[in-house]
């Protein structure tokens, strides 16, 4: 029942933000906003309001407006917002609350209003400022409202502006905000992805092995494993000849690469949904790929082998296969989920595309 509420989301009045006024820092009338101006990106393209496509277009517009007003690149707003969105989705993958907001950045009350502010729901920019709170008015209504997207993004911009413009300055500003290394790493990864591709939609996929080649896999979620004690099997084993190409299943950033005593030569890719894709037991890596690199669906990561279950270099203790796992970051811990249904879906998608291409050629 959450969906209908999204159609009544508050109209965002942010069309006439003036950078000079915003950056003047004076609380009163710092922002000129035009009321009743819908964000132009939310147009009726036959896609229902509240759909992913429309939400992304409206969000991108909002980041770009705030970027023009503050000088902070749009992809940094996008990265913080996306990080909070993936963390907020923890309960069964659904949004935590019905919200009229476009963005997901949730600033805790004591941070917004100031830790010693007796009014933890304070929306007055002056008293929030007096108590050292984070909240600012970015929408020009003389209120600093933690439920207003423009106020939240502008407040975040004011925080970022204290540190400087380089990627490194940004990382420090994010660390100072979250005091959490994982959060800082995620935001940096997302920022890099958005900057590189220049768009919010990074939802492409690929099967990890070339479809149409020789391989076999089945759902092996949670079955016992022969080595390493009582751990359950967190992933799917794809059996295929030694040396078969291993491909990235997603758009992402290489987060880990190297030896792990269970996984052998393994590589880990972080995608924009905050999922970690883990490829283990490789024979070797595509040599151009390093930590921090950006990969695209179908890009070669390495080759199938039988490395692992011992000290670096151990191999041949089991038949060659790709072990593929997906973990979701929930802010404090990461949880594995069964990749089998996604593998089936990606494989079918590629087969359909192949058949279509074949048909078009003949
Ligand atoms: Zn496995």
Task: Calculate how far, in angstroms, residue 281's C-alpha sits from the geometric centre of ligand 1.
Answer: 9
User: What pLDDT digit, counting tens, does each position of 247-284 carry?
Assistant: 999 999 999 999 999 999 999 999 999 999 999 999 99
Ligand 1 centroid to Cα of residue 272, in Å, is 24
- Give the confidence band of 97 by pLDDT, cuts at 50, 70, 90: low
pLDDT at 138 over 50: yes
Q: How far is the CA of 234 from the centre of ligand 1 (A)?
A: 7
Q: What is the pLDDT of residue 188?
A: 97
**Is 12 in contact with 64 (CB distance < 8 Å)?**
no
Residue 24 has pLDDT above 90, yes or no: no
Every domain of the chain and the residues it spans: 3-197, 216-361
Residue 312 CB neighbours (<10 A): 12
User: Ligand 1 centre and the CA of 270: distance in Å?
Assistant: 19
- Is residue 309 a contact partner of residue 281, using CB atoms and an 8 Å limit? no
pLDDT digits (tens, 9 = 90+) for 277-328: 999 999 999 999 999 999 999 999 999 999 999 999 999 999 999 999 999 9
| pLDDT tens-digit series, residues 83-95 | 999 998 654 444 4
Q: What band does 230 get if pLDDT is binned at 50, 70 and 90?
A: low
Overall average pLDDT of the 11-19 stretch: 35
Least confident piece of the model among 93-97, 140-144, 177-181, 343-347 = 93-97
Question: Which pLDDT value is given to residue 88?
Answer: 87
32-56 average pLDDT score: 49
With a cut of 50, say whether residue 43 has pLDDT above it.
Answer: no
Structure tokens at 2: 């959450």
User: What is the CA(235)–ligand 1 centre distance, in A?
Assistant: 6
Please give the pLDDT value at position 54.
Answer: 86
The CATH class that applies to domain 216-361 reads: mainly beta
Task: Tell me the pLDDT of the chain averaged across its residues.
Answer: 84
- CB count, 10 Å around CB of 306? 18
């Amino acid at each position: 029942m959450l969906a209908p509420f999204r159609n009544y989301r508050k109209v965002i009045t942010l069309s006439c933000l003036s950078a000079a006024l915003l950056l003047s820092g004076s609380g009163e009338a710092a922002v000129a906003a035009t009321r009743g101006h819908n964000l132009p990106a939310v147009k009726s393209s036959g896609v229902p309001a509240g759909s992913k496509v429309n939400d992304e277009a409206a969000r991108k517009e909002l980041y770009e407006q705030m970027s023009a007003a503050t000088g902070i690149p749009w992809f940094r707003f996008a990265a913080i917002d996306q990080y909070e969105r993936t963390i907020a989705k923890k309960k069964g993958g659904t949004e935590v609350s019905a919200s009229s907001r476009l963005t997901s950045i949730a600033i805790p009350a004591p941070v917004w209003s100031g830790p010693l502010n007796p009014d933890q729901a304070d929306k007055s920019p002056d008293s929030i400022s007096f108590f050292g709170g984070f909240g600012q008015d970015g929408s020009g209504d003389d209120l600093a409202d933690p439920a207003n997207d423009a106020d939240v993004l502008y407040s975040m911009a004011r925080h970022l502006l204290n540190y400087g413009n380089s990627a490194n300055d940004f990382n420090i500003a994010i660390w100072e905000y979250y005091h959490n290394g994982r959060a800082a790493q995620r935001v940096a990864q997302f920022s890099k992805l958005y900057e590189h591709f220049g768009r919010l939609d990074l939802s492409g996929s690929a099967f990890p092995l070339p479809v149409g080649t020789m391989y076999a896999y089945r759902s092996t979620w949670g079955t016992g494993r022969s080595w390493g004690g009582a751990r359950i099997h967190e992933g799917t084993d794809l059996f295929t000849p030694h040396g078969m190409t291993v491909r990235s299943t997603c758009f992402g950033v290489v987060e880990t690469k190297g030896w792990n005593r269970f996984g052998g030569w393994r590589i880990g890719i972080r995608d924009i949904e905050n999922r970690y894709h883990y490829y283990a037991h490789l024979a070797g890596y595509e040599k151009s790929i390093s930590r921090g690199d950006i990969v695209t669906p179908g890009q070669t990561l390495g080759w199938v082998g039988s490395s692992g279950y011992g000290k670096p270099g151990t191999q041949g203790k089991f038949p060659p296969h790709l072990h593929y796992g997906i973990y979701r970051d929930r802010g404090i811990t990461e949880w594995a989920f069964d990749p089998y249904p996604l593998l089936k879906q990606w494989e079918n998608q590629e087969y359909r595309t192949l058949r279509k291409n074949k048909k078009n050629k003949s």
